[in-house]
Amino acid sequence: MEKKMFLNEKLLGLKSTLPALILADHFLLRPDMADNYTEHQKENFQKDVAWILSFLAESVWAGQPALFEEFISWLRTFLSSVKVPMKDVAESMMLIKARINKVCTEDENLVVNPILDKAVILLLSAEQQVSIPAMENFLTPLAQNYLNYLLKGNRNNALSLILDEVKSGVPVKDIYLNVFQPVQYEIGRLWQTNRISVAQEHFCTGATQLVMSQLYPFLFTGEKKDRKMVTTCVSGELHEMGARIVTDFFEMNGWDTYYLGANMPVAGLIRFIKEIKPKLLAISATMTFHVSAVEEMISLIRSDPGIPSGLKIMVGGYPFKVANLLWEKVGADGFALDALDAIKLADNLLAA
């Protein structure tokens, strides 16, 4: 494990030097492209290499090649949507491997090389990645109308649509599970396949967060319980929608909830936990390269003598869905697939 930690740090250290070297290697391999690359393209190329190194380092740290494979599958879909040939991407991956092999030991390369070799195979595979279609339910037409309003930039109509449904008796839980969740998945897919811009993606996500805030008065429907929970995203993590949904589900289930949002510094979180004295802490991480930060956050919390005894910690987010038992590695008490699963897990943890 110490060797993997050292290798993780070495790979992250290469982010400052390797991208420029890979770009130079790329032009040596493809001299016809050297004169055609704009400065903006050169900058993006180096950012992509640094991003690849971040995901690779975290996969090595976790001992979970599946994390990098999942990232490569995502990258393949995204770059294909903007007409980047997979042959070029695979060539860049092999150049990254060659440069890493020059600075790493033989034992370290035995860890890295199979991961990068599998990435090349995935990039050149003719098999297309197919997303699982959303299950049809009685709110599917509502979800489609809501999505259409968002994509047209009509936030007010989207809000009115949801409020009218809730006031007519549709449970807020059903709105969260069957409207907000599938719509957010679809918005992410549309961005990944270059159907909408990043600005549109941000607008749609922000609009849904606004709608959720307007539903807050409807959350206080469950019998109150003598239970407090805190939800936060790890430091550096900006994707907070999932954490917000989980928090609202706990609120609907009678808990006193404290949602701290994205990019939470661990020192501030520890102080808050000491003040509030919750029974449960939920930590979210969406980006794979934030998983080690989750472990560090949990370790610092566990080691602080002022933290209430018996505090249970659960984690959630995309990397924990991909990598089996990753939640154990970061020191959590459990992992929840979604908001409903989080409620069940919390009940089990506190009953133990």
| Torsion sign (Cα): 146, 147, 149, 154 | positive
User: Residue 132 above 50 pLDDT?
Assistant: no
Helix (H, G, I), strand (E, B) or coil at 30: coil
Domains of the chain: 2-124 (1.10.490.20), 140-217 (1.10.1240.10), 221-351 (3.40.50.280)
- For 192-235, the pLDDT digits (tens) are 888 899 899 999 999 999 999 999 888 876 677 889 999 999 98
Predicted TM-score (pTM) of this structure: 0.83
* pLDDT score, position 279: 95
- For 293-307, the pLDDT digits (tens) are 999 999 999 999 999
* pLDDT score, position 83: 86
Helix (H, G, I), strand (E, B) or coil at 86: helix
Exposure string of 56-92, with b = 16+ CB inside 10 Å and e = fewer, is bbbbbbbebbbbbbbbbebbbbebbeeeeebeebbbb
Sheet holding 228-233, edge to edge: 256-259, 228-233, 280-284, 312-316, 334-335
Q: In this structure, are residues 181 and 214 in contact, taking their beta carbons and an 8 Å threshold?
A: no
β-strand partners of 257: 229
Banded model confidence at residue 142, pLDDT cuts 50, 70, 90: very high
- For 308-335, the pLDDT digits (tens) are 889 999 999 999 999 989 999 999 999 9
d(CA 346, CA 341): 9
d(CA 163, CA 142): 12
Nearest to 67 by CA among 324, 299, 296: 324
User: Residue 9 above 60 pLDDT?
Assistant: yes
Q: What angle do CA 165, 166, 169 make, to 5 degrees?
A: 90
Average pLDDT over residues 271-296: 94
**Sequence-separated (6 or more) residues with CB below 8 Å from residue 68:** 55, 56, 59, 115, 118, 119, 288
Average pLDDT over residues 57-76: 92
**Distances in whole angstroms, Cα of residue 224 to Cα of each of 48, 171, 179, 228, 345:** 48, 18, 26, 11, 18
d(CA 50, CA 134): 34
Q: How far apart are the first and last CA of the chain?
A: 30
Nearest to 62 by CA among 319, 348, 284: 319
* pLDDT score, position 222: 63
